[in-house]
DNA sequence: GTCATTCATTGATTCGTCTCAATTGTCGGA
DNA sequence: TCCGACAATTGAGACGAATCAATGAATGAC
């Protein structure tokens, strides 16, 4: 973005350091800020009427936190919770939307961000609809190994609890699946998984 | 958009009338056009390695067909199939991306489109992870009744086969669920459903 | 070091949904 | 009008995953 436009926008922002356990916003609230992850992460949970809760997405440094809600000015479909000490940039919603309309570079970045988040969601739907629990676990491990650039030794980045929830199953099922997979392909020790047979 | 920009872009487009059964593009292909639904609809299917296939989304007149793939220049994650006679506007990919960068109005429209598609996907994930099959069927019917502005009599818009697939279950389960729900809330006659007890 | 708390594992059982199979219903074509 | 093709229903059974319950391991507070 041009420097003056950027500075104008930055005047409408503040940075926020939050402790583990903080809730950035609740499902159902109207967005007032566009949150941007500077460091750490935010976990996005969906909640049902009955109160069940499921992890849907994790956003990391550089990501916008649900830009879709901010540009739509519609209620959040997820709750954002911070599970590790993190810093966020908060951009005032109106100013952000105005800047989007004025600044092509910003609009372009937003398009890219929305597109990649959309694709992640589609991938997750395909996972849920087309794969069994063990298949989801396997592809999750393979995906981890790619992201960690570790062909053999991968480390689970969160509690198994959360990972299970992200994969759409219970922690018990996740645990059982891991131990079943020890018979033909991996070995598990706490949060460390060694891939023996990648196929 | 300004008239001359629009006309410039329209020179890079063609309209396409397709018969039922046509495949617009395959999962895995690289986008060459941005398809826009003019009339009719397109059904987007995800396919697994084993060849199983599931309906993920239906796009209708005015919608872009997976703009995320076009702006990312990344392979389609879904196949687009046309199940009823329909017309599409095909915009040449490069020209479309160029126009996005040049024309703020177009960029803004793209942002809105991507945001709403993102939210639909999130809603679907919550459906899959948090609700049982009967709950999904019930909320689908209620959603239909809202969209058709018919508080009582709703008509299933597609074959039960497809609806089941969209809801992430088999046609058998869908059928069973409907008949179970006849005991406390609806009556079913072919593709017509009468809502007796909305709650 | 001990204790309480949380997280993870394991077992037994129940429940939901899929699969396979047979039957019925519906529509369009010969 | 009969027939074939396809969609939808129904039943029986198997399977997967959730639930409930108990135990074991790790973590942090004091």
**Domain termination site, one of B100, B130, B160:** B130
Report yes or no: B54 at the A interface, CB cutoff 8 Å.
yes
**Domain termination site, one of B96, B130, B164:** B130
Same domain, residue pair A64 and A145: no
Same domain, residue pair B63 and B115: yes
CA-to-CA distance for A140 and A138, rounded, in angstroms? 5
pLDDT band at A78 (very low <50, low <70, confident <90, very high): very high
CATH number of residue A104's parent domain: 2.60.120.10
Same domain, residue pair B107 and B10: yes
Contact B77 A129 (CB under 8 A): no
Q: Which residues of A touch B71 (CB under 8 A)?
A: 111-112, 115
Same domain, residue pair A126 and A141: no
Q: How many residues does chain A have?
A: 199
Residues B46, B96 contacting (CB under 8 angstroms): no
Q: Which residues of A touch B164 (CB under 8 A)?
A: none
pLDDT band at A20 (very low <50, low <70, confident <90, very high): confident
Q: How high is the pLDDT of residue A189?
A: 87
Same domain, residue pair A45 and A110: yes
- pLDDT beneath 70: ranges in chain B: none
Per-residue pLDDT tens over the stretch A21-62:
889 999 999 999 999 999 999 999 999 888 888 999 999 999
Nucleotide nearest to A191 (CA to C1'): C8
**If DSSP codes are grouped into helix, strand and coil, which group holds residue B198?**
coil
Q: Read off the tokens for A115.
A: 């597109």
Same domain, residue pair A143 and A121: no
Q: How high is the pLDDT of residue B184?
A: 79
Asked if strand C comes closer than 7 Å to A135 Cβ, the answer is no
| Window from A60-64, A105-109, A189-193, B77-81 with minimum mean pLDDT | A189-193
- Strand blocks (E) in A127-191: 153-155, 186-189
Strand partners, A175: none
Is residue A113 predicted with pLDDT exceeding 90? Answer: yes
**Domain termination site, one of B98, B130, B162:** B130
Asked if strand D comes closer than 7 Å to B131 Cβ, the answer is no
Once rounded to an integer, what is the mean pLDDT over residues A67-76? 96
B76: Cβ–Cβ under 8 A, 6 or more apart, which residues? B25, B26, B27, B28, B29, B30, B31, B66, B69
Once rounded to an integer, what is the mean pLDDT over residues A133-155? 92
Residues B100, B68 contacting (CB under 8 angstroms): no
Same domain, residue pair A113 and A21: yes
Nucleotides of C under 7 A from a protein CB: 7-12, 16-21, 26
Per-residue pLDDT tens over the stretch B116-129:
999 999 999 999 88
Same domain, residue pair A75 and A116: yes
CATH number of residue A183's parent domain: 1.10.10.10
Q: Which residues of B touch A48 (CB under 8 A)?
A: 126, 130-131
Q: How many residues does chain B have?
A: 199
Same domain, residue pair B32 and B119: yes
- Per the structure, the count of domains in chain A is 2
pLDDT band at A5 (very low <50, low <70, confident <90, very high): confident
Closest-CA residue of chain B to A118:
B118
Asked if strand C comes closer than 7 Å to A172 Cβ, the answer is yes
Same domain, residue pair A104 and A137: no
Same domain, residue pair B34 and B113: yes
Question: Which domain range does residue B153 map to?
Answer: 133-195
Same domain, residue pair B10 and B98: yes
């Amino acid at each position: 973005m041009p420097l003056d436009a950027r500075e104008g926008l930055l005047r409408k922002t503040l940075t926020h350091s939050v402790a583990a356990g903080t809730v950035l916003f609740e499902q159902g609230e109207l967005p007032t800020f566009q949150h941007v992850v500077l460091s750490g992460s935010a976990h996005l949970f969906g909640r049902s009427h009955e109160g069940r809760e499921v992890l849907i997405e994790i956003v990391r440094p550089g990501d916008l936190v649900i830009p879709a809600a901010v540009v739509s000015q519609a209620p959040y479909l997820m709750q954002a919770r911070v599970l590790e000490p993190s810093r966020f940039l908060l951009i005032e919603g109106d100013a952000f939307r105005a800047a989007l309309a004025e600044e092509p570079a910003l609009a372009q970045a937003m398009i890219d961000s929305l597109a990649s988040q959309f694709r992640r969601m589609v991938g997750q739907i395909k996972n849920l609809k087309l794969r069994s629990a063990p298949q989801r676990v396997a592809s999750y491990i393979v995906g981890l190994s790619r992201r960690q650039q570790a062909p053999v030794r991968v480390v689970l980045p969160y509690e198994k609890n959360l990972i299970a929830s992200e994969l759409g199953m219970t922690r018990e099922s996740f645990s059982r699946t891991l131990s079943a997979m020890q018979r033909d392909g991996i070995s598990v020790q706490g949060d460390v998984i060694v891939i023996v047979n990648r196929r």
